[in-house]
Amino acid sequence: MNSMKSVLEKQRDFFATNTTKSIEFRIEQLHALKKYLIEHEQEIIQTLYVDLHKPPFESFTAEFYLIIQEINLALKKISCWSRPHRVPTPLTHFPASSYSAPEPYGVVLIIAPWNYPFQLTLIPLIGAIAAGNCALLKPSEFAPQTAQFLAQMAQNIFAPEYISVVEGDASTAQELISHRFDYIFFTGSTRVGTSVMLAAAQHLTPLTLELGGKSPTIVHEDASIQQAAKKIAWGKFLNAGQNCIAPDYVLVHSSVKQLLIEELKQSIEMLYGKNPHASESYGRIVNMKHFDRLHALLKDGDIISGGSSEASDRFIEPTLIDNIKPESALLHEEIFGPILPIISYESLDEAFSFIKEKPKPLALYIFSNSKKVCAHILQELSSGTACINDTVLQGSSCHLPLTGVGLSGFGSYHGKKSFDTFSHYRSLLYSNRFTIIFRYPPYRQLHTRIMQFLRWWL
């Protein structure tokens, strides 16, 4: 506790020097981070393989490349983002001028999960650096090799009073959030997010919560089923289903359900072969706790494809499941693994009712060739993000904010939104040395006429 307190005090002292507010300093730090990551690309990929059996291509495209992309955008735009932006000034304030000016919060805490342990730690950090903050990072203990790499990286690049990494388990995270930070950024489960929010409330600390939920996929009867199946299988079983925006379950029109199931089976075989256990393109479950949870869920319905597992390797085969028990967690909790429930519907209203019984999801996926149908679904259902005729891609663009709604979280980040998240936008009004005397008492007939004039503009 004392060591954490000491680090925080040193970061507060360093922030008070205003060093981090220099645009040149921020750019220098981002360049140093980019250089280090590029030099250690292969080590990063190997680290992710050890922690999650993540295929090198997935490690590069879904982690490393996204981080570099975010750094490049921040380097290109940081000067523009950091400038005060002029806004309109009301007539009653004449001859003043008005601005909205970003300033850093101060010392921020970033708590990251284990499923994408590099990008979900470093993309928020990029925003924090670009906005001019000091930061304390808490990577997940469930990806220990990555946590060690991040700690070593911070020591090699940054002064500890600027950026520090704290390793440890859930008790360490609890200690951290008991301290006062100027901003907290948390990515993880809704359950833990609730605890973080309660702790933040003790200090009235603003925060962003990037959580999860049951992200539905609607396959309309007019969809291109073959393409839908391939994209759903890819998005669902990427990282062995351990993705907060993965399709959690499929709602498919009854007239095309069997066709979709057959196409999904073929797509899974095309992606991972007849024996996914032997595939170098398929990941593993992060630890035995999550393996046991997922393995138990396999009993909650009829397995129509897959279903095999190997505890010693934390392997669970890509699995399609039907006829789910009504009380099953498959229907009520985020699955976060390679199990895909298939549920049929007769009308869109029936599908809407099923989805609306649950909290608002982080992602919504729609497969239909009708713009009218897509628009109707988007109007009826709320979600943090949405993707039409594809899956997951909306979460990997630095130009599209990743955000939740309701129990799937609040706040947003990626690109400019990361900068905004870690910035307080201060309202500035510059008044002229000359003032319009009519604003002062005592109020006379002139003021009545001024009221009439202003009312005319309403």
* CB-based contacts of 133, cutoff 8 Å, min separation 6: 15, 20, 104, 105, 106, 107, 108, 182, 183, 422
Give, as one character, the DSSP assignment of residue 62: I
**Cα(186)–Cα(178) distance, rounded to whole angstroms?**
14
**Known catalytic membership, residue 374:** no
SS3 category, 412: strand
**Known catalytic membership, residue 210:** yes
**Cα(351)–Cα(216) distance, rounded to whole angstroms?**
10
Which one, of 93, 94, 145, 90, lies nearest residue 118 by Cα? 145
**The one catalytic residue among 210, 263, 317, 333:** 210
State phi, psi for 3 to the nearest 5 degrees: -65, -40
Backbone conformation region of residue 53, classed left if phi is above 0, alpha if psi is from -120 to 50, else beta: left
CA 176 to chain centre: 21
SS3 category, 134: strand
State phi, psi for 313 to the nearest 5 degrees: -110, 5
**The one catalytic residue among 244, 374, 387, 398:** 244
Active site residues: 210, 244
